[in-house]
A and B are shown apart, each in its own frame.
Chain A
Amino acid sequence: MTTALPEIWDLVSAVSPDGHQYLTTPPGTLGSYKQIEVRSVADYRITGRIDAGNDRIFEDQWSQPPRYTADGKFIVAIVQANEKVRRWFLNVYRADSLELIDKIDTTEWNPRKDRVPQPDDSLTTPPHFGAEIVISPDRRLAAVGNHEHSFRLFDLKSKRELAHSTFAQPPFFFTPDGTTLITNHAAGVRIWNLEKMK
């Protein structure tokens, strides 16, 4: 006999890799919000909240929602700063304490740095269709893709672009141990050994 718990219709942004928790948004805040709720999968109970402060987290069917890193240790959210000029940041939180430990300015990745970021700059407006940013578990690398099928790999500490490609498209994945990157290309799937990166 199957006894089902009540079906819920939370807007679930991500489930932790161990399957114990999920991220969701407060009721009635679809699209743009300031808080992320962390809930237990077992009973839907709220176990913590992430507050973006003055920033805003955007999420709709075309944008990248908050997510866990592959090892489940960090939560990454794309936020728009409360500034006159649009700037998008990657906020990185510890999954256990929900402490904000990093705030990465994505304008560093703008290929057109010679001008003020515009709403159509694909790398400064991550919510565009198909845009994706994935952080490696050690928080050293960022795999960035956009709707124009470009792929770029950045070193977050040196701010250096390590590699790029056209004809690639999201999703991209790091393995939990950070040794492998998986990308999708026009020709097929590529499994990269990051340990042999020069």
Chain B
Amino acid sequence: MKRFGIAIAGIGFAALLIGCDSENEIDRQARTAPESPLLLEPQSPLLTDYKEVRGRQARDVSPDGKFVLVGSADGANWAIEVLSIESGNVVGQMKDPGREVYGTPSQFLPGSNYVFDEEFIFKYTLWDFRRDRTVGCSTGTNPLPDRTVVVDSRVVCRSTKTFA
């Protein structure tokens, strides 16, 4: 019931975004934000060495600390990519990601190199970004096959089937 409640709230929020305010808050800020430096200490900048990937939001860091999962900056997942922390370059791009409509960010699965993406209610995709292929998906109320899955940061599902 809680899940449906969240989903309904999400639908309402999405409708509000689409119908009433197509201009995203972040976009507005982007136009008004000072150019640089954004991160500073008065008189003496402490953090000076960084890479910037514009138009993206970080969603997660891989368990080995080598990659960053990013989505589009407007909050919807029209793009899900994996960046190399070392180079800042895109090393993987998910095909046809689900649009994030109610706050379940895409994430790396703990203990694996898979990316988990949820599209609306009970539709999940598992993407192996190293091999660039979808290794599992689920619709309906069944839990995702294979591995541990964190849904909405609150539900753990697990099954015994393994995708080679």
A12 touches B47 (CB 8 A): no
Residue A164 at the B interface, CB < 8 A?
A: yes
**B155: chain A residues within 8 A (beta carbon):** 7-10, 12
A2 touches B145 (CB 8 A): yes
- Scoring A residues 117 to 130 as 1 if CB is less than 8 Å from chain B, else 0, what string do you get? 00000000000000
A2 touches B48 (CB 8 A): no
Residue A180 at the B interface, CB < 8 A?
A: yes
B153 touches A12 (CB 8 A): yes
Residue B160 at the A interface, CB < 8 A?
A: yes
CA A194 – CA B46 in complex, angstroms?
9
**Among candidates A168, A176, A198, residue contacting B64 with C-beta atoms closer than 8 Å:** A176
**Among candidates A5, A9, A196, residue contacting B48 with C-beta atoms closer than 8 Å:** A196
> A179 CB to closest chain B CB, in angstroms?
8
Instruction: Please tell me the number of chain A residues within 8 Å of chain B, measured between CB atoms.
Output: 62
Residue B50 at the A interface, CB < 8 A?
A: yes
Residue B22 at the A interface, CB < 8 A?
A: no
A187 touches B52 (CB 8 A): yes
A1, A61, A167, A191 pick with most chain B CB within 10 angstroms: A191
**A19: chain B residues within 8 A (beta carbon):** 63, 109-112, 147-148
B111 touches A176 (CB 8 A): no
Identify 24 residue pairs between A and B in the complex whose beta-carbon atoms are under 8 Å apart, listed by A's number: A2-B160, A4-B142, A8-B155, A8-B156, A10-B154, A18-B111, A19-B109, A20-B111, A162-B41, A163-B40, A164-B40, A167-B34, A168-B39, A171-B58, A171-B105, A175-B61, A176-B63, A185-B52, A187-B52, A189-B52, A190-B52, A192-B50, A194-B47, A197-B47
Which B residues fall within an 8 A CB radius of A?
A: 6, 26, 29-30, 33-34, 38-41, 44-61, 63-65, 68, 70, 73, 83, 85, 88, 105, 109-112, 141-143, 145, 147-148, 150, 153-161
